[in-house]
Amino acid sequence: MTPWLAPIVWEGTYDLTVIDNIYKQQNITVAVTVFALGKYVRFLKDFLESAEQHFMVGYRVHYYLFTDRPDEVPTVTLGEGRQLTVIKTATSNRWQEISLRRMEMIEKLIEKELTDEADYIFCLDVDSKFYAHWGAESLGDLVGALHAWYFGTSREQFTYERRPESQAFIPLQEGDYYYGGAVIGGRLEKVHKLVKTCRMQLDVDRANHIEAAWQEESHLNKYFLYNKPSKVLSPEYLWDDKKGKPSYMKVVRSSQVLKNNAEVRPNP
């Protein structure tokens, strides 16, 4: 549990049969946003194939894939009740810009297309792969995931934005956890409020010619400080293979794939 009594989801802390009984009755649809701009299209095949094996299996899932290279989207056979919509999107010559622009794109997608289409949404990084069950135990009103690298480190070490000039500023003595930007989830309206707020804060920073240390991830951490997630996913959901496998990790559900940043990103 967090100090505000939100569950932290680890293997062994939940009964999947009970949880599935709750959500199956509600006949829910889960939207997934994933961005593959420029060379990041190469991550799509593994992302989609592994998601089909492990992510929300047995539920209706609708992937919304933003890309500037629709011709390079691999054909992946989707399970029953699962579909994929490709949204052609302009790219940018800065990876930081690509990453942070996701907030406004998700904001617009929710407003324009999702209102009557989905109940829950997960916004995920494409350079990740699923290795084990990720199911309805991850659902909640507002869901964040603990970043593999900052799990268990002290708050002063968190890479929050530390300049007061930025809207993402968090002082040294504040902060609960360091959340990863690669996993944002929850009920549609809660995530809409999150992405809209972060987008507005990003706009203010832009007008002030300041970019937070970790772009939208910094703004996400600021948002979660004042709008606590109702459920927190353990690093099982946001692992990094570079970290090996410590004993507290009984299962790796999703992990960041190794990538050569210099080779895949449009800029250093």
List, by residue number, the catalytic residues: 217
Find, among 128, 111, 74, the residue nearest to 252 by Cα: 128
* Piece of the chain touching ligand UD2 by CB under 6 A; list 47-55, 81-89, 174-182, 200-208: 174-182
Asked whether residue 126 is marked as a ligand-binding residue, the answer is yes
| Residue number closest to ligand UD2, CB atom | 181
Asked whether residue 150 is marked as a ligand-binding residue, the answer is no
* Piece of the chain touching ligand UD2 by CB under 6 A; list 22-30, 82-90, 129-137, 175-183: 175-183
DSSP per-residue codes, 30-43:
EEEEEEE-GGGGGG
Q: What are the residues whose beta carbons fall under 8 Å from the beta carbon of 58, sequence distance 6 or more? A: 20, 24, 135
Residue 107 binds which of Mn ion, ligand UD2, none (CB < 5-8 A, kind-dependent): none
Return the residue of 127, 137, 176, 217 that touches Mn ion, per CB under 5 A.
Answer: 127
Residue 95 interacts with ligand UD2 (CB under 6 A): yes or no: yes
Q: How far is CA 193 from CA 50, 165, 264, in A?
A: 29, 23, 31
Give, rounded to a whole angstrom, the gap between the first and last alpha carbons of the chain. Answer: 39
State the nearest-atom distance from the C-beta of 148 to ligand UD2, in Å: 7
State the nearest-atom distance from the C-beta of 242 to ligand UD2, in Å: 11
Asked whether residue 241 is marked as a ligand-binding residue, the answer is no
Residue 137 interacts with Mn ion (CB under 5 A): yes or no: no
Asked whether residue 71 is marked as a ligand-binding residue, the answer is no
Q: How far is CA 178 from the centre of its chain?
A: 13
Residue 155 binds which of Mn ion, ligand UD2, none (CB < 5-8 A, kind-dependent): none
Q: How far is CA 255 from the centre of its chain?
A: 12
Residue 237 interacts with ligand UD2 (CB under 6 A): yes or no: no
Residue 36 interacts with ligand UD2 (CB under 6 A): yes or no: yes
Nearer to ligand UD2, 108 or 119 (CB): 108
Asked whether residue 9 is marked as a ligand-binding residue, the answer is no
Residue 125 interacts with Mn ion (CB under 5 A): yes or no: yes
* Distance separating alpha carbons of residues 79 and 21, to the nearest angstrom: 21
Backbone angles phi, psi at 183, to 5 degrees: -140, 115
Backbone angles phi, psi at 8, to 5 degrees: -105, 120
Question: Are residues 231 and 180 in contact, defined by beta-carbon separation less than 8 angstroms?
Answer: no
Identity at 216, one-letter amino acid code:
E
Sign, Cα dihedral of 233, 235, 241, 245: negative
Q: Which residues are annotated as a binding site?
A: 40, 125-127, 147, 159, 217, 240
Residues that bind ligand UD2 (CB under 6 A): 35-38, 40, 95, 98-99, 125-127, 147, 180-182, 214-217, 256, 265-266
